[in-house]
Structures are given as structure tokens and as C-alpha cells.
Structure 1
Amino acid sequence: MSESLTFTPTLEVGEWYDDNFRAVEENEESSWITRIAPTFVLGAKGRKSAYALTYKASSDIFHSSRKDDNTDHYLFADAGFMFDARNNLKLNAGYQQVEDTDSKDQNVQNDKPTTSNIGGVYTYGAKTARAQVDLGANYEELRYRNTDHINAENERDTTELSSTFYYRVAPKTRALVEARHTDFEYVSNDRLNSNNIALLGGLTWDATAKTSGTVKFGGEKKRFDESGVDDQSGSMWEVGVSWKPRTYSTFNLNTRRAIDEGDDGASAIKVQSATLSWKHDWLERLSSDVSYSYSDEEYQDIDRDDKIKSLGLGLTYKMRRWLDVGVGYTYAEDDSTAIGESYERNIYMIRFTGSL
């Protein structure tokens, strides 16, 4: 039986100006966009369990292109159970229904993907033990609501199994070895049916010398069911590090290299990306966020290589305990070797976020 029950509503109201909201190279369209996004979180917590149910709706109104008005829906359920000191279980399920105005089929209709998933992680081993094991599983379905079978070739079911072994090498540092197997089964595009196998090793640490993070390095191989499609392989890494030189200033670095699913005729995409961000509290109520992202996407089996850059600047002021005001600017650029796929984009924004 739960010891506490909480309900937290949040409302975000914002105004955006996007000078290329379709992310195209030519014939750019600009618009002021009003966003209204309420979020509701219902939580319950017991002595050995915790639950959370989250729903968010994000409604965008395009003042220069009312046919692109849309509302995205997000629903997430999470549950955690601590059976005893050595046995823990986390479960999650989610549903997302969105519409992308910057999709590649915008001349016909916007992409309208729907994603649903269910998964969990079982952990054996106490937090203070020398060794721990995580066993994870996740199942995801990707579908599209587009008419005339647009994007039907991308619809797929994904099943992922993972196992991670941790071994404590210092009071706050653990070495790890992780294995993953991911199966991709396409609804109609059998050519892309495949499975990915990845093996990684690395370290994870907590608040050591003002830093915390996880680094994983290894390799990945994608095997296609059809013999006519070339298998892919390569090095793989996932790095997430946080450095806090002061209590009011935090730097975060996230970088990954992996083989992602194909798109626009490619059998797969080899992605290498990095994001560096800095959050600083200038005053008790005033904070700033700066971020820079770079991604190199190499499309396999077709002649295309995208280099995507993004710069974000933001400033947030807490007017009241329950009300934040934020202003921001984002610049995005895609330098693509494919004809018609490059673009530049500027987004300006002001938003108000209230919560109880």
C-alpha cells in the first residue's frame, strides 16, 4: 500500500519564430508558432515501491501555415520495486503520437509516427556489493498514421535484450561489461530485417573529483537477413560525463558512435555525434544554458553524408516559486552531400512555465 500520493500539473505556454520550419534547402517557409503544452504527473510511493504516470500534450499553432497545426501526445508509465537489498526491478511503458513538420515528405504530408514500447531492467546485487548484474529487455513498435502508405517502409518492431555486469574497483567507481542483442523486424520492408550485436566495456562513477559519468567502448555488428544487403560493423562508444567545478556551474559531455536504422533508401546509417552543454546559475533566480551539438551521419548503400550542427542559447528567470520565464535561440545547419538535403534554420523563443 502506498504511503504517499502526489499530483503535479505543469503548463508551458510559448511563442516561437522559426525561419525554416520545414528544414529545407530551398523555398523555406517561416512562421510564428504558439505552443501550449500541459503536463500531468501522478505519483505514488511506498516503502519498497514507486509508481509514476505522466501525460503530456503539446499543441502547436502555425500562424503562417494553419494546415500544419498539430497536437502531440505522450504517455509514460514507470514502476520500481525493491524486493530486498539484492533484488530490484524497474518497469516502463510508453506511447508517443507526434507530427513532424521538418520531415522529408513535407511536400506531400508531414511525417506522423506513433511509437509504443514496454520494457524493464532487473538488478541483482546490493548497492554496496562488489558485483552487480543488470538484465534488460525492451519491445518497441513504430507505426505511421500517414495516408497513401507514406513511410510504410519504415514501420518496424524492435526487440532489445541487454546484460550488464558491474564490478566495483573503488568506493565510487565500477568497471562494466555490457552485451546487447537487438532484432529489427519490418512490417513490409523485409529487405531491412536485421539484428545488431554489440559488446562494450568501460567505467561508471559517482561524484568523484567533481565529476560523474559513464564511458563505454566496444564494437557493433549489424547482420541483415537478406544476403543481398551488405552487413555493417564498426567501433562503438557511448560517453556521458558531468563536471561540476562549482555548485552553481555544470558542464555535460555526451557522445556516441553507433549503427542506426536506415532511411531514405539507406540500409543503415553510421552515426557519430557529440553534445557539449553548460548550465550556470548567475543569481538565485537567474540561470543560463549553452549547448553545441555535432553529428556526422554516413548513409550506407547510397551516396549521402550529413554533417549536422546545432547551437543553443537559453536564459531562465524564476519570477515566482511556481513560474519560470525563458528566452532562447537555436541555430541548426545540415551540410549534406545529397542534392536538396542541406538547410539552415534559426529559431527564437520565449516561454512561460507554471507548476504547482
Structure 2
Amino acid sequence: MRHLLFGGLLVFSLLISVTLYASDEYAVQIGSYSALENAKSAASLVSDQSCFINKKGDIYRVDCGVYQNKASALLARDSLRKNGFKDAFVVALNDKPSAPKDVSPSREQPPVGSKPVKGSIFERTGGYFHPFLSLGVYYTDNVFNTPDNEKSDTMLVITPGIWVSLPRVKQKLLSIRTENISPGGLELSLFREKFPRRYQSYLLYKADIEQFKKYSSENTVSHRVEGLFQYNFRGGLSFDVIDQYNRSHDLRGTGLSGELDKYNSNLINLMLNYDVSEKFKLRGEYSNFFVDYNGDVNAFRDRVDNGLSGYIFYKFKPKTSVFFEYEFLNVNYDQDIVSDSKEHHFYGGIQWDITAKSKGRFKAGYGEKNFSGGGDANNLIFEVQIDHRFTPKTSLKLAATRKTNETTISATDYILTNAIQAEYLQRFTGKISGAIKLGYRNDKYNNEITFEGVTAEREDDIYDALIALQYEFKDYLKADAGYIYTRRDSNFSGFDYTNNTFFFRITGAL
């Protein structure tokens, strides 16, 4: 199982080789505008199609979608007309000139999506290959996240990377939040996006090279590789393959030792969807996640998780569905220190994707965790994910969860986590935007531990906040600066810490 990533990458490479010779492509034009800001505003109103801006003379034209045949484009045109774009019509992309490089596509877009554009193999407004490079300077007053005797330092972070897509698109297609302590590997469940093409493939590689000024022993390099392939059959059947590999480290100060906790992890997710009718949809998923720590001190945390889940969706409104979900997780540790377990989750929920204004999911239910050595844990569980756009320039993202997580301390069984995070995004001008993020998390460990002469069940309250501004010099060059605050309050004072970090970063991307 731990080599599935490499097989997936090989399959992905073969798919690229087979599909490089694409046929004619089509899009749907929703409008023409004399002002760029009006074109961006129109593009931001479309959520179920992916839009880009093409300039011809003094006119900015907004085209949506990239389709491999005219029949698919006509269906998309009809959908857009129903959503208010009465004059939408089909255009052949291969007959159109490439979007000029001084025109930026709309920056107001859903959290996971794409802005397809017509372009050459390397081009910032399109193309198959998109290299990027980020240089960031970070100052922190608590490098090791200790409760006292804090050490400050300045760190340079160099982030090179490249992503590849077929058919070509403008924006990265995946937003996966993995977490090592989460059974199955996912911090939050995946939002599936159905792309308006017969197939869509995507591959990304990035590295984070961390260089400290004073504490060079902390220098490290992290790697991430992730990929996606989706194929949509005729008749409502489709499947997705998603894979993410990480070679990284835990946040400093989160373990019991003062060492940097490095690991390798991989998550693969296979998803099968079938549209039974206009109102009913079925989904099945299989996932495999492994985490393997480098040091002996964390060897007890090495494990492999296998998961199966099934969904039944009923669409009672055009963009809103209720659903039932069952999830099974089998957690297997390499060593017999922490007990293996089997989890059963039963959810009911609602999911919506209402134009570009609101997208979200709420689900709640009951979870059972049965340990191989005897004993169990039964808890109410829930998850909320909301992305709401008040205006084309203002949006709010909210995520909240209650779940059982795997332990980081061998003397305990599991962690009961309650967490919430909110992010406010504001575009002030065409070049300046800002973000404010606030978060709270409560981790309660099951079973008592003894640490520094105190015996109790450990409980941590973690607070974090971020404020940042971004300035976009060009479509391919931007800079951002901000401040990050993190505090952990534990009933064991030895686990307390406060961290203040200031950063400046500049990013270039094609």
C-alpha cells in the first residue's frame, strides 16, 4: 500500500502521454464588456462553470468552461441561460486567439476550482505546465514553542514547485487538508467537484526549504506531491482518483520531546459516483492512509488506515441535497503500544452549491470507536464547511468539527477534538486584498498521564489568529505580509506556549 503513490504517478504520466493530442475545444461566452472590472465581476458570478477573460481590441469577453465536444458545450450554455445569462452562446476555442498576457482572469473564485484558459504549453494565462517560486522571511519569538526560555530567530522559506494539468487550466484543482492524528488522514471531508469535461488530470509538486539564521540545526526540507484524475462516463457514472504524499514534520513543540518530529505520509482516495436520476445520486469511497515517523520516539504512532464509505444524496432543490453517510475506518498500528481500532460513523446532512454566493456542507451523527484490546468510545460527531460570498469582493469561510483523533501520547487511547475556524477575505482594490483568520481548538485526551509530578487527563485549548495583506503587482507576481498568533493553554503547564510570527513573502507564478 505504501507504494501506491508511485503507481498512481505512473498511471498519471501515461494518461498525459495518451491525451496530449486533444481535439477541438469549446467554451460558452456569457458576455462582452468594455471595462475589465465588469468582466471580472461577471466571471465571479459563475460557480458551476470555470471562466476566463479574453481581450479583443477594447472589449473583454468572458468565456466559461472547456469542452471536448460541442454537445457538452450546448448543455452548459443552456444551464447558464437558466442561471440568468440569457445571451450565452457557444464559441470554438481553437478558432480564437490566446488571451493576452496583460489580462488577469477573475480572482473571485470558489475555494476549489479552475479557470481554464487557452494558451501554449508554458503560459501564465494557460498552458499545461505552471512553475512557481515563493520566497518568504519569517520572524518568530518562540522557535521551539516552549512555555518559558523562548528562543527567537529569523527563517527564510524557499518554496519552488510546478503543477501540470490536462486539459489545461489556470488554477490549482486540489485543496486537501491532511492531519496525521485524524483516522483516515483527512482533517475535513473532501468536496467533490465535477469538472465539465470528459476527463481532468492534475499533478503538483512543491518543496518548502526552511533555513534558520541562528538555529541551523533546525534547517529542513519538506516535499509534497499530489495528483487527481477524474473521468466522466456517459450515463451518469464517474470516478476520481486522488493521491497526496508528504515528507514533512509536525509543528515544533507538539510532541513530548524537543526534537523535530519528521514523517512520511500518503493518502489515496478512490471515489465512484453514479447519478441514478435527476434527484438521486450514489457515492462510494475507498481510502488508504499511512504515516511513518523517522525517529524511534514516535515509532509507536506509525500506522495504516483503511476506510470505506457510502453516500445516498437526494436533491430536493436544484442546488441543494440532503444525504445519509456511513463510514468505516480500520486503524492498524505497526507496534502493539497503542491499540488498533475500528470506527463506525453514521451521518445525516445537507449540502448546497448555490451559484457563486454560497457553498457548504453540514453533517452530524454518531460515532463508535472499538478497540482491539477491549473497550470503546461513543460520541456525537459533526462537521461544518461553509464558503459564503457576500459580494464579489467579500467572502467568509467557516469550518467546524467534533471528532475522535488518534493520540500523540502512548499512555492515552484517543483525543476528542472540538474545533472551529473562520476566515474573512476582502478585496479592497484590483491589486490589494486582505485576510483575517481566527481559530479555536480543544483537545481532550482519554486516560490519565503523569507529567512533571501531576497526574490528570490532559486537555489543551489552542487559539490562533492571522492577519495579512496582499499586493498584486502583476498577474504573475504578488507580495503578502502579515502576523500570526498562536497560544496553547494546557492543564499541564509544561505544554503551554505562545508564539508571535511576522512574515513577508513574494511569489511568482506562470
TM-score of the two chains, using structure 1 as the length reference: 0.94
Counterpart for residue 286 of structure 2: 137
Residue type at the aligned position of 2:422? L
Correspondent of 1:186 among 326, 333, 336: 333
* CA distance in 2: counterparts of 1:176 and 1:23, whole angstroms: 42
Counterpart for residue 257 of structure 1: 402
1:243-300 deviations in Å (ceiling 9; x for gaps): 2221110011110000011112321000000011100000011000001000011111
What is the Cα deviation at residue 145 of structure 1? 1.5
How do 1:39-50 and structure 2 match up within 5 A? Answer: 39-45=161-167, 48-50=198-200
SS at match of 1:110: coil
What is the Cα deviation at residue 118 of structure 1? 1.9
* CA distance in 1: counterparts of 2:399 and 2:221, whole angstroms: 30
Deviates more, 1:100-109 or 1:264-273: 100-109
What is the Cα deviation at residue 210 of structure 1? 3.6
Counterpart for residue 268 of structure 2: 118
Deviates more, 1:60-69 or 1:102-111: 102-111
1:299 partnered with 2:445:
yes
1:38-79 deviations in Å (ceiling 9; x for gaps): 111011229521211111011000111001100001111211
Could you tell me whether the CA contact under 8 Å between 2:398 and 2:423 is conserved in 1?
yes
* CA distance in 2: counterparts of 1:55 and 1:212, whole angstroms: 28
* CA distance in 2: counterparts of 1:347 and 1:65, whole angstroms: 16
Deviates more, 1:322-331 or 1:257-266: 257-266
Correspondent of 2:352 among 197, 201, 205: 205
Counterpart for residue 92 of structure 2: none
Counterpart for residue 327 of structure 1: 481
Correspondent of 2:465 among 281, 299, 311: 311
Distance change in 2, residues 1:189/1:103 (3 Å): farther
1:87 partnered with 2:237:
yes
1:134-186 deviations in Å (ceiling 9; x for gaps): 1001101110112xx22000000001111111001111110011110011000
Correspondent of 2:140 among 18, 23, 39: 18
Could you tell me whether the CA contact under 8 Å between 2:314 and 2:322 is conserved in 1?
yes
Root-mean-square deviation (Å)? 1.7
* CA distance in 2: counterparts of 1:109 and 1:297, whole angstroms: 22
Could you tell me whether the CA contact under 8 Å between 1:68 and 1:101 is conserved in 2?
no
* CA distance in 1: counterparts of 2:502 and 2:373, whole angstroms: 46
How do 1:145-156 and structure 2 match up within 5 A? Answer: 145-146=294-295, 149-156=296-303
Could you tell me whether the CA contact under 8 Å between 1:157 and 1:185 is conserved in 2?
yes
5+ long unaligned stretches in structure 2: 1-18, 23-120, 122-126, 169-196, 449-456
Correspondent of 2:154 among 32, 35, 38: 32
Could you tell me whether the CA contact under 8 Å between 1:191 and 1:225 is conserved in 2?
no
Distance change in 2, residues 1:51/1:25 (3 Å): same
Could you tell me whether the CA contact under 8 Å between 2:146 and 2:253 is conserved in 1?
no
Which entry has the higher C-alpha Rg, 1 or 2? 2
Q: Which runs of 4+ in 1 moved over 3 A?
A: 103-108
* CA distance in 1: counterparts of 2:131 and 2:459, whole angstroms: 43
1:293-346 deviations in Å (ceiling 9; x for gaps): 000111111211101000110100001121010001010111101230011110
What is the Cα deviation at residue 101 of structure 1? 5.6
Residue type at the aligned position of 2:304? D
* CA distance in 1: counterparts of 2:166 and 2:462, whole angstroms: 41
SS at match of 1:340: helix
* CA distance in 2: counterparts of 1:96 and 1:23, whole angstroms: 23
For these two proteins, the number of residue pairs brought into alignment is 351
How do 1:37-116 and structure 2 match up within 5 A? Answer: 37-45=159-167, 48-100=198-250, 102-105=252-255, 108-116=258-266
* CA distance in 1: counterparts of 2:160 and 2:385, whole angstroms: 30
Residue type at the aligned position of 2:275? G
* CA distance in 2: counterparts of 1:318 and 1:208, whole angstroms: 27
Counterpart for residue 417 of structure 2: 271
Distance change in 2, residues 1:84/1:21 (3 Å): farther
* CA distance in 1: counterparts of 2:132 and 2:505, whole angstroms: 13
SS at match of 1:122: strand
Residue type at the aligned position of 2:291? L
* CA distance in 2: counterparts of 1:196 and 1:300, whole angstroms: 16
Could you tell me whether the CA contact under 8 Å between 1:305 and 1:337 is conserved in 2?
yes
Percent identity between the two aligned chains: 23
1:68-97 deviations in Å (ceiling 9; x for gaps): 100001111211111224111000122110
1:9 partnered with 2:119:
no
* CA distance in 2: counterparts of 1:125 and 1:16, whole angstroms: 48
Higher helix share: 2
Distance change in 2, residues 1:57/1:191 (3 Å): closer
* CA distance in 1: counterparts of 2:153 and 2:134, whole angstroms: 19
